[in-house]
Amino acid sequence: MTRRLLPRVFWLACLTLGCAATVARPGAADHVPSATNGAFFEPTPGSRHDFADVEHWRRVFDDPARDAWQKPRQLVAALGLRPGMWVADLGAGTGYFSRYLDAAVGPTGVVFAVDTEPNLVAHLRARAEQEQTTSVIPILASSDDPRLPPHALDLVLIVDTYHHLDHRLAYLRRLGGTLKAGGRVAIVDWQKHDLPIGPPPEHKLARSQVIEEMQAAGYVLATEPALLLHQYVLIFDPTPGSANGD
């Protein structure tokens, strides 16, 4: 069975039958030195929303006005994806990025559309069928496990979702185990100042905090495309010699 077909069969079976997940528990490892003040900090907990109302979030996430500030085509182009690559859209929501990622990786690639809300995952499946984005595989994740295949991904894309993650250091270390050699993590989130769009200030994380947490979890900032007016775009590599960089 080919590299492409085996995970398709395995992960679709998991979605149908259910797979046991190894749960990452927060602990002392989640307290890391702060590069800014020398103290110790614990990452702020993720912000909370109820995402069960698909129609409401479809109006929000798929608002045509979003294209002007999110620039999905330019953003996906800046990720350097190629046909045949395996990508995860972590916190895929209603699938706003699905068709752009599908076009980038082509019919020989895979796009795992990952979310923790069952209603959204059902919507992702229906949308993939409607749009005929054949590379898209919806994944029902848990809050502390993305349920992605190990050492398989060329890129994990996290758009407007990083600030929702709990126990981020443990989660990010687990996420590193899903990357293949040369795999990357791209984070797109809101600048932490007053903006005409986006979540309230208390739900935003400063760019510097994201970089600091990613470094603590075993990543290094590789590039920062200057694309978006209201958001930062940070692309990370696993740190050489780290558990997820081996």
Which is it for the CA torsion 124, 129, 132, 134, positive or negative?
Answer: positive
Q: Which CATH class is domain 66-238?
A: alpha beta
- pLDDT (tens, 9 = 90+) of the chain, 246 residues, equals 333 333 443 343 343 333 333 323 223 333 333 333 322 234 454 444 556 777 785 777 888 899 999 999 999 999 999 999 999 999 999 999 999 999 999 999 999 999 999 999 999 999 999 999 999 999 999 989 999 999 999 999 999 999 889 899 999 999 999 999 999 999 999 999 888 888 888 889 999 999 999 999 999 999 999 999 999 999 999 987 665 544
- By CB neighbour count within 10 A (0-12 exposed, 13-18 middle, 19+ buried), where does 104 fall? buried
Q: Which of these, 82, 70, 145, lies nearest to 115 by C-alpha position?
A: 145
pTM: 0.79
Give residue limits of the domains in the chain.
66-238
Query: What torsion do the CA atoms of 128, 130, 132, 135 make, to the nearest 10 degrees?
Result: 0
